[in-house]
Structures are given as C-alpha cells and as structure tokens.
Chain A
C-alpha cells in the first residue's frame, strides 16, 4: 500500500462517483419508432371487480407514514392507502370523506367540517376532531414530506365538538378544499408522544383510519403487503391484499403474470390491442415537459414577439409523433392540458407556422444581415444555449432544428438532471427544458407559477417551482389576486379561463407536450382501475382499490 495504492483508491472513488453521476440519467429510452393506431381499448365488458390479491410494481419508497416516505416515486399513494383526509378525490372532483359535509363563511376565512361518526383508528381508538387539530399543530412543528398542508395559511384550528372542527385561515384561499383533500390526518394518541417523526418507524407509526393496514414491509427488498382494514368505516375494499413486489423490468414481469398492471411504450401496443384478456387505456395528460425562457439573463426574450415566434417555430405536434410516438398531447400555451377540468379550449392555438414565426422576428427587428442563417440585431446574434437533462436530448435536437429554420441558433447542453434543476433554481440558464407531473392539479398553480406579486393574499409560491425568471404581467397579477380569493367555483373557473388566455398571449413558458402513457392490465385479475380527475397514475388513487359504492359511488 504505497503511494500508488492511495492514488488507486482516490482514482477509483472519483471514477465511481463520475460513473454513477453518469448512470443517473441513463434511463431506458425507447429507440425504435413506429406509427401507432388510434386509442382503442382492448377487452370489452367488465372483468373482475373484486379480487383477493393483486400484484403491483414495488421498490422501496420508504416507510408509508407522512414523515418518512420518500419524496420521489409512488410513495405518497402508499401513505394514502393507510391514512385518510377530510376530503377525497374521484374521477370528477372532490368528494366527502372523513368530513361528511362542510360550510364556508361568507368572507372565505372559516371552514367548518362535520366529521363522520364512529370512525376508528386501526388500533380501535376513536377518531375525533382533536386528531384534526392535533395534525395541523403538530405539522407546524414537524413538516411532513407528503400529505401535509401549508400550515402558514392557517391561523388556527378550533375543535367545536368531537365531530366538528373549524379551520380559520389568515386570508381566503380558493383552493383550500383541494389542499384539504390531500391533507392526511394522523392519530393524536400515537404521534403526540413522538419527538422525531422522521425516525418513527415503529409498527404503530402506520396506524391510520384508511382502508388498508400495512401487513408487511421489507425495506431491503422493496416489498410492501397491504391487507384490507377489517374495521374500515367506508366502502368495501375491492382488493383484499395488495402486494408491491420488486421487478427488474415492468413489461417482462407483466407478461409473466408476476404483476397485474403495467405502463407500456407505444411500440408494443399491438401485442395487447384487440385482446380480450387485457384492457388498454391511455393516462390523462397530466405529466409534461416545459420550455423556459430566462428573460433576466437574456433581455431580448422580454420581447413578446420573440417568445411568440418561438411558440410558432417549435413544432409541438412533431414531438408527440416522433418522441412519444403518438402517446402524448402537444402543449397548450395557456398551460393547462386538455384533460384539465378547467382547460379553456378557446385560446390562441399557435399551430406551427414558420412564416408567422419569421414575420414576428422581422417585426421585432431581428434580421439576418450577414447571410449566415442566424438573425441579428445591433450586432448581436439571436443565439441561445438550451439546457436539458441528458435523457431529453432528442427534444433538444427537434427544438434546435425547427428554430434554425426560423433563424434562431440553439446550442443544446445536456446535463445531469439535478444539475439542470440547480441551474433552473438559480436562474443560471438561457433556455431550459424540464419534465414534471402535477399538471392536473387545482388551477391555482397558474398563480403560484406566473404571478410575481409577492404581497399577494395567500400567496404561497412554491420554492422556485418552475419559477419563471424575470416574468412580470400586471394583468395576470390582477387576475391571479382575484382567483385566489374567489370562492364561487363558476366565477373562479371564468377567471382561470382568462388567465389561460393571458398566458397564451404572453408566452412566459412553452409547455412542449404532455405524456399520455398507455396503461395495460389483466382483466381477469382486477378491472376496477380508475384515476382521479387531477392525477395521471391509476394505481395512485385511493378509490381505485375500493368498491364504488356509498360515498365512493361512480358519478
């Protein structure tokens, strides 16, 4: 073990880190391309609606309580199977859950929830309004990873009686009921003794009021077994036992019958089409790629004509065809995808049009004076660097090609995903692409992303979540300020429609495309898969595991 030994170790360590950092972004990207047919679900009629056991893709996502679950992947849904919220979501909207009914005061600041009676925690203790108050207060001190609520919005919670609880907000927040629908209530009699919930991994940490209990969890092997909670207050459980098991390749495991539900890539669609054994359904378009402008770093992007030219030049439909092989939807410039309940169909469409893009750039004063194919103005070329993750290079190449035709020069810079995120957060980029989910959530996200009014009532802007660097629009800020206070859903929807129009006119960002992944499942194993109105993954919704009766009845 001489100097060379130390050297060898140092080099090995560096290599390992570099190698791993390299590995990180190498997710399997399908290569072959083939046109896909139309969206025809396979099997007709209904299959099994009540099953004894169903197997799903596992992997370790942490212990399923709100403080110890992993922030990545399907962890939150594993918490949902055990813990309940006051409200729940079905395919149409928000439905009563632990709260049977509620009232909102005229000023929009007081929410009174009437709780269901005879609800018991899985250890037999009764659930009361005190648990709701406790959860809110506890989470002011210990912030959960999943299933929490922005406690800074809440002034106080009052327990009126055992079955009535009142939330008093600091200012009206129009999406408060939506926030409540994912706020998981934890048991006071267990958690009140817990000083560090992150490390609370005992059996009793996963005591909820929900439809399932955690029967077995193996961190090492990434397996979870959920069994029906015998004492569940709500609708019957449709699958008695749900097992999440480790798989190396989802498709192979599905083909071999090891798991009963899978997502598939379009190139193998034909295998399951017109086969009565399987059902084949596309997910709603709630996961997508967004294209960012850094208007602070590049003042030339502050010109709305230039941004509109980008929107006309970048071919969003082509990306759906070439990259998604049809399993997607081109982005709407009003941000909300077509499947969003409040999508405004009447907005500028920006069908790819090179002539229009060129005309807009001409109007903005960008002309190719030296004949090199790149437009310039006052000696400055219209050239940018486009940062993206190494898995998204194909998106970058298509953008580069199309913008080149319009006379804009793009250099694609592929980074590791975290590095790209860091640059986005710090505003250290010119143009950037990032992919994320949640596009189906309450439309209030338009406000938190695009309004830069810091003084705004109830403003809880998410940490740089897609913060749009250097974007400011007074009209939009005014709309956003009224949206967050509007309690009448019909009126709020109208405001959201207007917000979409303003954004589509102004183009602060360009949603490139949303994915519409195909789900396939074995009809004879379980056929009750459904997705919530705001989320793309069917296995993530609570109602997917329940018999659709009583309060969970199909609407």
Chain B
C-alpha cells in the first residue's frame, strides 16, 4: 500500500464517518415528538408521567435541546471529538456507560450465533453437496428452507415454550440469575452460558439456512469446474479434493456473507432480545427509540456503524487469505 492509497483510504474513512455522524444526529431528531411530550401510554394499563409545560421546558433546557439545531450539531461533533457521547435522557447515565453495560451481551450472542451458524452451515452444506440429489440432500434442503421461513421471534417463543416452560431446562428470561453472587468463575460462566443458550440457538437457526444453501450451491458449481476434474484425475483422493480444492474456493462467498451477517444480526438480535428479555443493545436501542433518547440512539447507531465498517475490513483481510489472487 503506497502513501497515496493510504491517503485516499483515510480520506474515505473520514467522509464515511462524517456522513454517519450527520445521519445519526439528524435522523432521530426527524422522528415526530421529543423525549418529554408523551401524552399516551404505549401499552394498555401502563403509567406514563405526563409532564407539565414547566417540567417539559426545564428538561429541554437541561439537556440543551433549546439551542438552535446547528449549534447542537456542532456541540455534538465537538463532544464526540473529546470522546464524550453525551448523557442518556432515559437512563440518566453517560451514553458510553449504557452502551458498555449492554453491548457485550449482544456481542456475546451475535458472535456465538455467527460462529455456530457458519460452522454448522458449512458442514451440512458440504455433506449435502456431496450427496447431491440423494435422499439426505433433498431432506435437508426441504427441511432447512421450510425452517428459514419461521421468523426469529416466533422461533424464539417456540424454543422458550419447549425448553424453558415444558422441560424447564433453561431460564425464562435475562442474562444472569437475578441477584446472583457467584462463588467461582466457573459458576459465573455456567450461569451466563445457561442463559445465553436459547438466544444463541434462535439467532443461529435463523441464519443457518442461508449459510447452508450458499455452501451447498457454490460447492456444486465449483465441483463441475475443470480444476476439480484435474484434481480428481490426479488421484489425490476424494477427501482432499473436496477440502483442499472445492471447499476452499466455495468458501469465498460464505466468508463475505458472514461479515455482512454480523451487521444484519444486530437487527435480528432486537427481536430475540425482546423474546428472551435479554439485556442486549438491541433492546436498549428499542427503548431509546421509544423514548426519543437522542444521545443514546446516536451512540448506539454509531457503534453499529463502526462495527459494520470493522466487519467489512476483517472480511477484506480474510478474503485475501483465502484467495491469493486478491493482493495489495
């Protein structure tokens, strides 16, 4: 990478970041309403404090929302430069703290689910491709496609009903046992894993079919290529042909997909977190939007955007490892 390229890259990155920051700032504020003018409950029977005009003005001033919008924007940029994400209106905490409290839980389930669905998807995709048009292939294909059509929140509810309600194998809600005080690290890890299991499974199942189909189809396409025929003709054994030659080439689109999937899963995580009442960032973003908590919406969307940027970078790198043709 020469200096010129590097400059272009940095330039691009800065532009991207500015665009993201601007969208993050203006998009939430374009939604109707503000954090203090609620008049109705969202849920039947719910209590909502309807603020007096005095209260409302007081809080609008307290959070600096009485300044002209462009001043607020520049203040926001200046604060961002100092690493200050602002104060969450709903949670009464610095945005960074709210994010640090909740993001790790989402990362835990999203990364585990991505790893799980990718690995299992590749394995069964390969099995399916090798047994193409045989019974097991058809069975898996039909089963998984049918499965993919179940929305993840419904799948979550079904799993919850079966494993938590019927068999009582897993807890109903949350990420840890309430008020738990652990005696050992092992205890803690077990408790967290126990609570995260169903959310991870739900997210993985929702993604599994995509990986499976992609692996299977690219493998089938690849297996008709000349170089595979050559490899087979060399007599290096079927196993080596499939792993060293076919699978390695077929993995390219799968890796790209996995990278994008992490971003997409943040969306899916909202629903799964809702079903399992899991304290992740998706649920937090949802409540931030409901309550028009501008600073928090900005903070979370920025983190999501940066996460997607990073994923793209990582995908780029892995892609190079897998495909020697892509070089600097």
A complexed with B = yes
Q: Which residues of A contact B (CB under 8 A)?
A: 1, 5-6, 8-10, 12-17, 19-21, 23-25, 27, 58-60, 62-63, 68, 70-74, 76, 143, 145-146, 150, 152, 198-199, 201, 216, 218-223, 225, 243, 245-249, 252-253, 255-256, 258, 263, 283, 287, 389, 391, 416-425, 434-438, 460-466, 515, 517, 536-537, 540
> In the bound complex, do residue A435 and residue B40 qualify as a contact, i.e. CB atoms below 8 Å apart?
yes
Asked, given contacts A8-B308, A198-B92, A418-B31, whether A437 binds B23 with beta carbons under 8 Å apart, the answer is no
| 13 A-B pairs with C-beta separation under 8 A | A9-B305, A23-B271, A24-B290, A68-B92, A76-B49, A219-B91, A219-B101, A221-B175, A221-B279, A419-B33, A463-B52, A536-B45, A537-B47
Residues of A close to B275: CB separation below 8 A: 248
Asked, given contacts A20-B270, A287-B44, whether A421 binds B289 with beta carbons under 8 Å apart, the answer is no
B5 interface contact, C-beta 8 A? no
B160 interface contact, C-beta 8 A? yes
CB proximity of B229 to chain A, nearest CB, Å: 35
> In the bound complex, do residue B38 and residue A71 qualify as a contact, i.e. CB atoms below 8 Å apart?
yes
Within 8 A of A (CB), among B261-301: 263, 266-267, 270-271, 274-277, 279, 285-286, 289-292, 297, 301
The residue from A199, A256, A419 contacting B165, defined by CB atoms under 8 A apart: A256
B172 interface contact, C-beta 8 A? yes
Residues of B close to A9: CB separation below 8 A: 16, 20, 305, 308-309
Closest Cβ neighbor of A3 among chain B residues: B12
Distance between Cα atoms of A549 and B16 in the complex (Å): 66
> In the bound complex, do residue A21 and residue B31 qualify as a contact, i.e. CB atoms below 8 Å apart?
yes
Distance between Cα atoms of A16 and B164 in the complex (Å): 30
Distance between Cα atoms of A537 and B46 in the complex (Å): 9
B226 interface contact, C-beta 8 A? no
> In the bound complex, do residue B37 and residue A434 qualify as a contact, i.e. CB atoms below 8 Å apart?
no
A-B pairs, 4 with minimum CB distance: A418-B33, A463-B53, A248-B173, A419-B32
Tell me how many residues of B have a C-beta within 8 Å of chain A: 82
Task: Kindly list 17 other residue pairs between chains A and B, CB separation below 8 angstroms, not including A145-B55, A466-B39.
Answer: A14-B23, A16-B266, A16-B301, A21-B31, A24-B42, A24-B286, A25-B42, A222-B279, A247-B172, A247-B277, A249-B173, A418-B31, A436-B48, A437-B48, A438-B50, A463-B53, A537-B45
> In the bound complex, do residue A201 and residue B49 qualify as a contact, i.e. CB atoms below 8 Å apart?
no
Distance between Cα atoms of A537 and B160 in the complex (Å): 28
Distance between Cα atoms of A361 and B309 in the complex (Å): 62
B86 interface contact, C-beta 8 A? no
Distance between Cα atoms of A13 and B52 in the complex (Å): 34
> In the bound complex, do residue A247 and residue B40 qualify as a contact, i.e. CB atoms below 8 Å apart?
no
> In the bound complex, do residue A150 and residue B52 qualify as a contact, i.e. CB atoms below 8 Å apart?
yes
Within 8 A of A (CB), among B1-58: 9, 12-13, 15-16, 19-20, 23-24, 27-28, 31-33, 37-56, 58
> In the bound complex, do residue B50 and residue A436 qualify as a contact, i.e. CB atoms below 8 Å apart?
yes
Residues of A close to B47: CB separation below 8 A: 72-74, 76, 437-438, 537, 540
B74 interface contact, C-beta 8 A? no
Residues of A close to B245: CB separation below 8 A: none
Asked, given contacts A201-B92, A515-B45, whether A418 binds B27 with beta carbons under 8 Å apart, the answer is no
Asked, given contacts A1-B312, A246-B178, whether A10 binds B50 with beta carbons under 8 Å apart, the answer is no
Residues of A close to B40: CB separation below 8 A: 389, 417, 420-421, 424, 434-436
CB proximity of B258 to chain A, nearest CB, Å: 15
Distance between Cα atoms of A462 and B62 in the complex (Å): 20
Residues of A close to B33: CB separation below 8 A: 418-419, 421-422
> In the bound complex, do residue B44 and residue A435 qualify as a contact, i.e. CB atoms below 8 Å apart?
yes
Closest Cβ neighbor of A71 among chain B residues: B49
> In the bound complex, do residue B101 and residue A220 qualify as a contact, i.e. CB atoms below 8 Å apart?
yes
> In the bound complex, do residue A252 and residue B52 qualify as a contact, i.e. CB atoms below 8 Å apart?
no
B176 interface contact, C-beta 8 A? yes
CB proximity of A116 to chain B, nearest CB, Å: 28
Residues of A close to B174: CB separation below 8 A: 221-223, 245-246
Distance between Cα atoms of A258 and B173 in the complex (Å): 10
Residue of B49, B101, B175 contacting most chain A CB atoms (<10 Å)? B49
Asked, given contacts A1-B309, A74-B47, A416-B32, whether A19 binds B267 with beta carbons under 8 Å apart, the answer is yes
B179 interface contact, C-beta 8 A? yes
> In the bound complex, do residue B12 and residue A1 qualify as a contact, i.e. CB atoms below 8 Å apart?
yes
> In the bound complex, do residue B27 and residue A243 qualify as a contact, i.e. CB atoms below 8 Å apart?
no
Asked, given contacts A13-B305, A16-B267, A249-B172, whether A460 binds B51 with beta carbons under 8 Å apart, the answer is no
Residues of B close to A68: CB separation below 8 A: 92
Closest Cβ neighbor of A198 among chain B residues: B92
Residues of B close to A423: CB separation below 8 A: 32
The residue from A24, A63, A248, A437 contacting B276, defined by CB atoms under 8 A apart: A248
B127 interface contact, C-beta 8 A? no
> In the bound complex, do residue A12 and residue B308 qualify as a contact, i.e. CB atoms below 8 Å apart?
yes
Within 8 A of A (CB), among B204-262: 260
B162 interface contact, C-beta 8 A? no
Closest Cβ neighbor of B306 among chain A residues: A9
Asked, given contacts A249-B172, A419-B32, A462-B50, whether A13 binds B178 with beta carbons under 8 Å apart, the answer is no
CB proximity of B313 to chain A, nearest CB, Å: 7
B130 interface contact, C-beta 8 A? no
B102 interface contact, C-beta 8 A? yes
Distance between Cα atoms of A71 and B53 in the complex (Å): 15
Residues of B close to A263: CB separation below 8 A: 45
Distance between Cα atoms of A524 and B91 in the complex (Å): 36
> In the bound complex, do residue A12 and residue B13 qualify as a contact, i.e. CB atoms below 8 Å apart?
no
Residues of A close to B20: CB separation below 8 A: 9-10, 13
Residues of B close to A417: CB separation below 8 A: 40, 42
Distance between Cα atoms of A73 and B44 in the complex (Å): 11
Distance between Cα atoms of A463 and B54 in the complex (Å): 8
B90 interface contact, C-beta 8 A? yes
> In the bound complex, do residue A422 and residue B32 qualify as a contact, i.e. CB atoms below 8 Å apart?
yes
B304 interface contact, C-beta 8 A? yes
Residue of B33, B102, B270, B297 contacting most chain A CB atoms (<10 Å)? B33
Residues of A close to B19: CB separation below 8 A: 6, 10
Distance between Cα atoms of A13 and B173 in the complex (Å): 28
> In the bound complex, do residue B37 and residue A422 qualify as a contact, i.e. CB atoms below 8 Å apart?
yes
Residues of A close to B44: CB separation below 8 A: 27, 287, 435, 515, 517
Asked, given contacts A246-B277, A248-B276, A422-B32, whether A71 binds B178 with beta carbons under 8 Å apart, the answer is no
> In the bound complex, do residue A71 and residue B48 qualify as a contact, i.e. CB atoms below 8 Å apart?
yes
Residues of B close to A223: CB separation below 8 A: 174, 178-179
The residue from A72, A218, A258 contacting B48, defined by CB atoms under 8 A apart: A72
Distance between Cα atoms of A435 and B101 in the complex (Å): 33
Residues of A close to B9: CB separation below 8 A: 1
The residue from A16, A24, A246, A389 contacting B173, defined by CB atoms under 8 A apart: A246
> In the bound complex, do residue A287 and residue B45 qualify as a contact, i.e. CB atoms below 8 Å apart?
yes
> In the bound complex, do residue A198 and residue B45 qualify as a contact, i.e. CB atoms below 8 Å apart?
no
CB proximity of B293 to chain A, nearest CB, Å: 11
> In the bound complex, do residue A220 and residue B102 qualify as a contact, i.e. CB atoms below 8 Å apart?
yes
Distance between Cα atoms of A60 and B288 in the complex (Å): 13
CB proximity of A126 to chain B, nearest CB, Å: 30
Residues of A close to B28: CB separation below 8 A: 17
Closest Cβ neighbor of A245 among chain B residues: B178
Distance between Cα atoms of A234 and B62 in the complex (Å): 37
Residues of A close to B50: CB separation below 8 A: 436, 438, 462-463, 465
